[in-house]
């Protein structure tokens, strides 16, 4: 995994006994049908893998590698539209075809550990400094105070500290 530009992640997915690679592909295909992203076919997915987690947890993440960034962005956009239109029913594990236990799932870009930490810090800062928007696109983190104003790309923790001081 040299570059994560084509990767997405589904978090909080219940673990399933004796799960195989075709099952994981099936979960993603089921999800694409639920969110009305009919353009997705198995050839658009390069790989799907269950991420390692602690033994005592009942959920873990699933990483999806798409064949290109356009497919990834279209899939994430379909998920976003679905979640906005189906309030309060958000995506859950049953929508993937996993009927072990109904868990709400979260779908986003797959970020490196360093970027996950920076996103956490940026969200924390946004709450305290009254920034309304924090989002990621293509592995970059963005911050915006109010709609219509310019966005700020957060490059590092040091850059975030400069923003805090300004």
Same domain, 117 and 137: yes
- Does residue 40 lie in a domain region? yes
**86 and 125 assigned to the same domain:** no
Same-domain check for residues 75 and 140:
no
Q: Is residue 2 part of a domain?
A: no
DSSP 103: -
Quick one: 90 and 19 in the same domain?
yes
Neighbour order of strands in the sheet with 45-50 = 45-50, 59-66, 7-14, 106-109
**How many structural domains comprise the chain?**
2
Regarding whether 54 and 27 lie in a shared domain, the answer is: yes
Cα-based angle 8, 1, 108 (whole degrees, multiple of 5): 15
| CA within 13 Å, CB half, 96 | 28
Q: Classify residue 1: in a domain, yes or no.
A: no
User: What is the model's pLDDT at position 79?
Assistant: 94
- Can you say whether the dihedral through the CA atoms of 147, 150, 155, 156 is positive or negative? negative
User: What is the mean pLDDT, run by run of 10 residues, along the chain of 166 residues?
Assistant: 78 93 95 92 94 91 95 94 85 91 92 93 94 91 93 94 87
Instruction: Answer yes or no: is 142 within a domain.
Output: yes
pLDDT of residue 27: 95
Q: Kindly report the CATH number assigned to the domain that includes residue 86.
A: 3.30.70.1820
Q: Are residues 85 and 22 in the same domain?
A: yes
pLDDT at 3: 61
pTM of the entire predicted model: 0.84
């Amino acid at each position: 995994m040299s570059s994560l530009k084509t990767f997405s992640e589904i978090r909080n997915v219940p673990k399933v006994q004796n799960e195989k690679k075709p099952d994981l592909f099936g979960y993603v295909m089921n999800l694409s049908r639920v969110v009305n992203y009919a353009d997705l076919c198995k050839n658009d997915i390069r790989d799907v893998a269950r991420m390692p987690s602690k033994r005592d947890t009942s959920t873990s993440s699933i990483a999806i590698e798409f064949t290109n960034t356009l497919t990834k962005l279209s899939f994430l956009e379909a998920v976003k539209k679905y979640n906005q239109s189906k309030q309060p029913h958000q995506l859950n594990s049953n929508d993937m075809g996993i009927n072990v236990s109904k868990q709400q799932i979260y779908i986003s870009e797959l970020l490196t550990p360093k970027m996950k930490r920076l996103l956490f810090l940026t969200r924390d800062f946004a709450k305290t400094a009254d920034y309304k928007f924090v989002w990621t696109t293509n592995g970059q983190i963005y911050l915006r105070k109010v709609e219509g104003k310019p966005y700020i790309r957060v490059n590092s923790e040091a850059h975030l500290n400069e923003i805090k001081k300004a």
